Amino acid sequence: MALVPAERTSPARMTADAAGRWSDLGKRAVSAAVLGPVALAAIWFGAGWFMLLVALGTAVLAWEWVHLCGARLRALPGLTVPLALLAAGLAAAAAAWLAALVLLGVGAAVAWAVARQPPPLPGERRPSAWLAAGVLYVGLAGVGLIWLRDAGDAGRANVLFVVLVVWASDIGAYLAGRMIGGPRLAPAISPNKTWSGSAGGLAAAIGAGLGVAAALTPGAAAAPAALIAAAIGLAAQGGDLLESSIKRRFAVKDSSRLIPGHGGLLDRADGLMAAVPVAAALSLALGQGAVLWR
């Protein structure tokens, strides 16, 4: 019985495959170099600037979500999403936290009810439950960010901690996944994500959390910072998978083409949008004004 030699991959093919894995690195680096300093400056220089950044981000997220659901932003039912987010955002800016949460719930219910009405155009797609879910998905993250930042120096420290841990998780997962590869994490949801990437992202999140805690609160115990960073990192990875499943549901690759190398803001902020409610709940349990890792 003749043996069939195994197919060999040529050096040229190996080089092309390696180049393909890193093809979006340049665009990602440029986008991060532009957007990262803007976000960090807004966090550092005060709650007013940060609220403006959150407002702009929420507006973009609302636009992407409404279009993802097949609706239009300037007409019903799509218009209900930005209006609900605006009302909840104004309440949060006034520190009316319970009112902000109630307005998000009411806004989601109104969006669902309006979207359930017969569409004016034959064949128009109106996923009413998804449109309503966007009010909570985007709104909880926006209100949570304002809550976290609205606590003076502790608020600045907490938001920096959350943002840098999420960024580190994303970068660590990207680098480890492409350098190591291996078994897929959730091939039915996102075929490009690997267990090695998940482990690399978690390790990077913990490392970033320890670094931020040491820089902002010298002498603080390392264990709480590591545990909180791990929880935030895992939440960020869950948010990434959730966004992948949502895009698969709507059969799109990216939520928009706004950010080169990343797609849309939903694609870029998915981990943060999942991590912020976790951090905000922890802040609520500890008492607003307390540093998350102490």
**What pLDDT, in 10s, does the model give residues 156-191?**
999 999 999 999 999 999 999 989 989 999 998 988
pLDDT score at 22: 58
- Which residue ranges of the chain lie beneath pLDDT 70? 1-28, 31, 119-126, 261-262
Q: Name the residue among 84, 137, 78 with its Cα closest to residue 269.
A: 137
pLDDT score at 215: 95
pLDDT score at 286: 93
pLDDT score at 5: 40
pLDDT score at 15: 45
Q: What is the DSSP string of 4-53?
A: PPPPPPPHHHHHHHHHHHTTTHHHHHHHHHHHHHHHHHHHHH-HHHHHHH
pLDDT score at 117: 80
- Summary mean pLDDT of the chain: 87
CB 81 within 8 A of CB 142: no
pLDDT score at 256: 86
pLDDT score at 28: 66
pLDDT score at 48: 86
Quickly count helices (H) and strands (E) in the chain.
10, 2
